[in-house]
Amino acid sequence: MAQLWGGRFTKETDELVYKFNASINFDKVMINEDVEGSIAHATMLARTGIISKAEGEAIIEGLKSILNDVNEGKLEITEEYEDIHSFMEANLIKRIGDTGKKLHTGRSRNDQVALDFRLYTKKNVLLIKEDIVRLLRTILHIAEDNTVTYMPGFTHLQKAQPVTLAHHMLAYFEMFKRDVSRLDDIVKRMNYSPLGAGALAGTTYPLDRDFVAKELGFDGPTLNSMDSVSDRDYLIEFLSALSTIMMHLSRLSEEMIIWNSNEYGFIEIDDSFSTGSSIMPQKKNPDICELVRGKTGRVYGALMSILTTMKGLPLAYNKDMQEDKEVSFDAFKTVHDCLVMYDGMLSTTKFNKDTMALSAVKGFTNATDAADYLVKKGMPFRDAHKVIGELVVFCISKNIAIDDLKIDELKKFSELFDEDVYEEISLKTCVEKRLTAGGCSETSVLKTIEAEKKFLNQF
Ligand code: ARG
């Protein structure tokens, strides 16, 4: 046991207590952020004369060499230390002697861990943003290739009106685009340095918090020391954004699973992104989609966990907050992995365009347009709705589409039907007439694609 706080104690910590209390096994992933924060702190201590220039340099060199040794596998991070902060400090002292004991001047592990975790979280926010932007590019490619790939649009999972694959995929583009903007908002709000808050009340040393904040890429220092050490709002915001991203991925997964089913056959997920069955030789399963859908619960769990951990905490730091890490690290990695998987899977998925179009022709997706046709010929909409409803019932009994009926058969339902009806209710017309901004016609979709391209150009 190598603890930072033995002085006040007359008895050794119980072995089980030591293990229960320790966080080194998981907070070791923040070693880069810990070193980065300590270097900024030491630089500031030397600049302000709280320690000498030579001491500052020795500390920085020591920190860098420890990190280097860890990276090269020459130094192992072991359970002998309570957390990554203790590991670094103990090793620094081992390496450079008493000067190492000066690093923690004007600092507490409370503001240190607040800083490390904020830096680590920010790094992950930016990584997830990159992952989403990559996925957005893939989605846009699919959209560009499929502006006239007709398919049924659904409500209640019942065929509703025809759309195009481009239009359907661009719906997901919008969702993930909003996710990017949510991540940007989080960075804006979280980008303040808590270092210098000390244990909770600030410190008596003349720290230059502005300098440290700038060194570490923050917009400035936080403004209340008690809040600084006990705020995890930024994490909750990020986990909430991650949950929303997973919700979007999970909806897409659900659609991919349905589209990939034998009954639909709209898509074929590539062999490299599918798995087989140990007993049924014919099976090719959409496991990746199912796993992404399943892992969504796990990410929601992380959000609930932190919200619950935080809800009863009095100011300022409480050890409960050490529980912020494991579930969050897991959520960060899970979402990253899912986004990477999805990009690879979507870009290799084959879309069966003919099957999609045929499905749209077969499901009375032109019924609304048939009613609109009668309206244009002078029938009130409510009456037209009734006529087409009867027509649909008739077609179902014959297992045919509305357009399969000859004109004299159509006329039995309404005299207003004429030869031009076939053109007016064709799949192509149904889609291409929907010219409203944000509609599914090729004209509207191409405008949307142009706007989305501009959006992606900024990255
Ligand atoms: N490992 C601790 C955490 O993750 C570091 C802060 C400890 N501070 C304290 N006063 N015990 O929260």
Nearest CA to ligand 1 atom 3: 322
* Domain containing residue 418: CATH number: 1.10.40.30
Given a contact cutoff of 8 angstroms between Cβ atoms, the answer to whether 193 and 222 are in contact is yes
Given a contact cutoff of 8 angstroms between Cβ atoms, the answer to whether 286 and 269 are in contact is yes
Of the pLDDT bands very low, low, confident and very high (cuts 50, 70, 90), residue 421 is very high
| Cβ(110) – ligand 1 distance below 6 Å | yes
Specify the pairing of strand 158-164 against strand 192-193: unpaired
pLDDT value at 408 more than 90: yes
Specify the number of domains making up the chain: 3
Of the pLDDT bands very low, low, confident and very high (cuts 50, 70, 90), residue 283 is confident
For residues 415-440, give the mean pLDDT: 96
pLDDT value at 419 more than 70: yes
251 three-class SS: helix
Dist CA 68 CA 85 (whole Å): 16
* Domain containing residue 48: CATH number: 1.10.275.10
Contacts of 101 (CB under 8 A, 6+ apart): 93
Q: Does 117 lie in the same domain as 54?
A: no
- What is the model's pLDDT at position 1? 64
- What is the model's pLDDT at position 13? 86
Q: Does 258 lie in the same domain as 122?
A: yes
- Quote the tokens at residue 160: 């509703």
- 217 Ramachandran zone, left/alpha/beta (phi>0; psi -120 to 50): left
Dist CA 415 CA 423 (whole Å): 17
Element holding 160 (H helix, E strand): strand 158-164
Choosing from 357, 381, 411, the residue where a domain stops is 357
Choosing from 323, 357, 391, the residue where a domain stops is 357
Ligand 1 centre from 100 Cα, in Å? 20
Given a contact cutoff of 8 angstroms between Cβ atoms, the answer to whether 81 and 5 are in contact is no
| Cβ(83) – ligand 1 distance below 6 Å | yes
Active-site position among 85, 108, 277, 336: 277
Q: In this predicted model, what pLDDT tens digit does every residue of 223-260 receive, in sequence order?
A: 999 999 999 999 999 999 999 999 999 999 999 999 99
Is 250 one of the catalytic residues?
no
Let me know if residue 370 belongs to a domain.
Answer: yes
| Cβ(322) – ligand 1 distance below 6 Å | yes
pLDDT value at 2 more than 70: no
Distances (CA, A) of 307 to 111, 304, 312, 328, 371: 21, 5, 10, 12, 51
| Cβ(23) – ligand 1 distance below 6 Å | yes
Active-site position among 156, 272, 278, 397: 156
For residues 299-319, give the mean pLDDT: 98
Ligand 1 centre from 215 Cα, in Å? 24
Q: In this predicted model, what pLDDT tens digit does every residue of 197-233 receive, in sequence order?
A: 999 999 999 999 999 999 999 999 999 999 999 999 9
pLDDT value at 275 more than 90: no
Q: Does 407 lie in the same domain as 346?
A: no
Average of per-residue pLDDT values in the chain = 96
Let me know if residue 185 belongs to a domain.
Answer: yes
pLDDT value at 7 more than 80: no
| Cβ(84) – ligand 1 distance below 6 Å | no
| Cβ(309) – ligand 1 distance below 6 Å | no
Three-class DSSP labels, 257-320? HHHHCCCCCCEECCHHHCECCCCCCCCCECHHHHHHHHHHHHHHHHHHHHHHHHHCCCCCCCHH
Nearest CA to ligand 1 atom 4: 322
pLDDT value at 5 more than 80: no
Given a contact cutoff of 8 angstroms between Cβ atoms, the answer to whether 366 and 271 are in contact is no
Question: Which of 11-20, 30-39, 139-148, 230-239 is least confident?
Answer: 11-20
Nearest CA to ligand 1 atom 12: 322
Q: Does 147 lie in the same domain as 270?
A: yes
Q: Does 373 lie in the same domain as 346?
A: no
Radius of gyration of the chain (CA): 31
For residues 370-399, give the mean pLDDT: 96
Given a contact cutoff of 8 angstroms between Cβ atoms, the answer to whether 377 and 294 are in contact is no
Dist CA 418 CA 124 (whole Å): 61
Dist CA 279 CA 295 (whole Å): 25
Q: Does 375 lie in the same domain as 290?
A: no
Ligand 1 centre from 110 Cα, in Å? 6
Dist CA 243 CA 338 (whole Å): 12
Q: In this predicted model, what pLDDT tens digit does every residue of 350-374 receive, in sequence order?
A: 999 999 999 999 989 999 999 999 9
For residues 65-87, give the mean pLDDT: 97
Backbone angles phi, psi at 163, to 5 degrees: -135, -170
Note the Cα 421 to chain centre separation in Å. Answer: 46
Q: Does 232 lie in the same domain as 101?
A: no
Q: Does 339 lie in the same domain as 283?
A: yes
Contacts of 54 (CB under 8 A, 6+ apart): none
Q: Does 289 lie in the same domain as 149?
A: yes
pTM higher than the cut 0.85 = yes
Note the Cα 30 to chain centre separation in Å. Answer: 21
Let me know if residue 346 belongs to a domain.
Answer: yes
Element holding 153 (H helix, E strand): strand 150-155
Of the pLDDT bands very low, low, confident and very high (cuts 50, 70, 90), residue 284 is confident
Of the pLDDT bands very low, low, confident and very high (cuts 50, 70, 90), residue 12 is confident
**Counting atoms of ligand 1 from 1, which one is nearest the CA of 82?**
1
Is 65 one of the catalytic residues?
no
Q: Does 277 lie in the same domain as 169?
A: yes
- Number of Cβ atoms within 10 Å of the Cβ of 98: 8
Let me know if residue 447 belongs to a domain.
Answer: yes
Nearest CA to ligand 1 atom 10: 110
Q: Does 93 lie in the same domain as 140?
A: no
One-letter amino acid identity for 336? H
Share of the chain above pLDDT 90, in %: 94
Ligand 1 centre from 73 Cα, in Å? 26
Instruction: Give 278 or 105, the one with higher predicted confidence.
Output: 105
DSSP 81: B
| Cβ(321) – ligand 1 distance below 6 Å | yes
User: In a mutational test of the pocket of ligand 1, which residue from 113, 121, 200, 228 has the highest number of ligand atoms less than 8 Å from its CB?
Assistant: 113
Dist CA 428 CA 283 (whole Å): 35
Question: Which of 185-194, 272-281, 321-330, 433-442 is least confident?
Answer: 272-281
| Cβ(113) – ligand 1 distance below 6 Å | yes
Range of the domain at 410: 361-456
For residues 442-451, give the mean pLDDT: 98
Choosing from 308, 336, 357, the residue where a domain stops is 357
Q: Does 250 lie in the same domain as 398?
A: no
Ligand 1 centre from 387 Cα, in Å? 72
Length reported for the chain: 459
